[in-house]
Amino acid sequence: MSGAVWNPLDAHQDTPLLVRRLVAAFSDAGGRLIAPASVTAIEVETGRCRGVRLADGDVLACATVVVACGPWSNELLAPHGLGVPFQWTRFEAASTGAAPFRIGRVVAGQSLFRFFTPPGMDAAAFPRDPSEQIRPALGFTEQIASMPDGSIQFGCAYEIGSSHDQPTVAGQAMACSIMSRNFPALSELPITRQWAGLVAQTPDGLPVIDAACGIEGLMLNTGHFFGNLAGAFSGKLLAEAATRSDASYDITPFALNRFTGRGHAVRPRLSLAVFHHKSG
């Protein structure tokens, strides 16, 4: 292996399990889940949030709406002049069937050094695998980990500025080529899934966490680029901002008005509604 990072403190999140647990905790706490459902509009009257309109035409009345729709948040926010300046990136991944070996924690390879170029180093100087030349528009984060069921997950080819949310031949070729060279035993395993997802990044790379964006009752929790890591904290901070006066962390620096220059409304009281998009 020409370059890799292994840190015993690294961790790998089982996202489907995490989401199942969050949904169960939400339901156990009295929350009502409506899924699948798409919100098509936020209902606003005289500067106050009144609820949301669903794709089937139903309107759900509620005092507080949290927009946490990732890259798609602007579809709901832009009509109210609250668009977030996003740059989209597609990340691709793949998983295999159960492997007869396990990878301890996460192994990250040399492409990750280009993605997170350390200060003083020239990203262009890092050697490239021939498969990275197939489609130069693609980058690669080079990570691989074992899942609890024994399968292996690996990736991630990425394309900055793309709104195309399906895995590509070049992206998958790059990941399969580099990973099966670094881990020869991987090359024998069946591929069971290949997928891609979109993430949105703000100009300063920080999320938008805003409990008072200018429309009373409307809260924002969006713009997470590495949101697996940061998203749980953002959710906790926003819930605190809605329900307590003594928040554990000041979220003001994450307000949308750092991009728009618009003023703040009064902080809303929280009443929850959760939506899960069919294609998400």
Task: Classify 45 as helix, strand or coil.
Answer: strand
**239 in helix, strand or coil?**
helix
Q: Does 38 bind ligand FAD (CB under 6 A)?
A: yes
Integer Cα distance of 243 and 268 in angstroms: 9
Binding of ligand FAD at residue 17 (CB under 6 A)? no
Of residues 125 through 164, those in contact with ligand FAD by CB under 6 A are 155-156
Q: Quote the tokens at residue 46.
A: 């005289």
Stretch that binds ligand FAD, among 67-75, 78-86, 115-123, 146-154 (CB under 6 A): 67-75
Q: Is 70 in the site for ligand FAD (CB under 6 A)?
A: yes
For residue 68, state whether it binds ligand FAD (rule: CB under 6 A). yes
Contact between 220 and ligand FAD per CB under 6 A: no
**Do the beta carbons of residue 151 and residue 186 sit within 8 Å?**
no
For residue 136, cis peptide bond before it (omega within 30 degrees of 0):
no
- Applying CB under 6 A, which part among 111-119, 180-188, 218-226, 263-271 lies near ligand FAD? 218-226
Rounded to an integer, what distance in angstroms lies between the CA atom of residue 153 and that of residue 96?
7
Q: Are 158 and 140 in contact (CB under 8 A)?
A: yes
Using alpha carbons, select from 184, 126, 151, 145 the residue that is nearest to residue 11: 145
Give the pair of three-digit tokens for residue 116.
């997170």
Nearer to ligand FAD, 227 or 268 (CB): 227
If binding is defined by CB under 6 A, does position 6 make contact with ligand FAD? no
Binding mask 92-121 for ligand FAD (x = CB under 6 A): xx----------------------------
Which residues bind to ligand FAD, rule: CB under 6 A? 38-39, 68-70, 72, 75-76, 91-93, 155-156, 197, 199, 222, 224-229, 231, 275, 277, 280
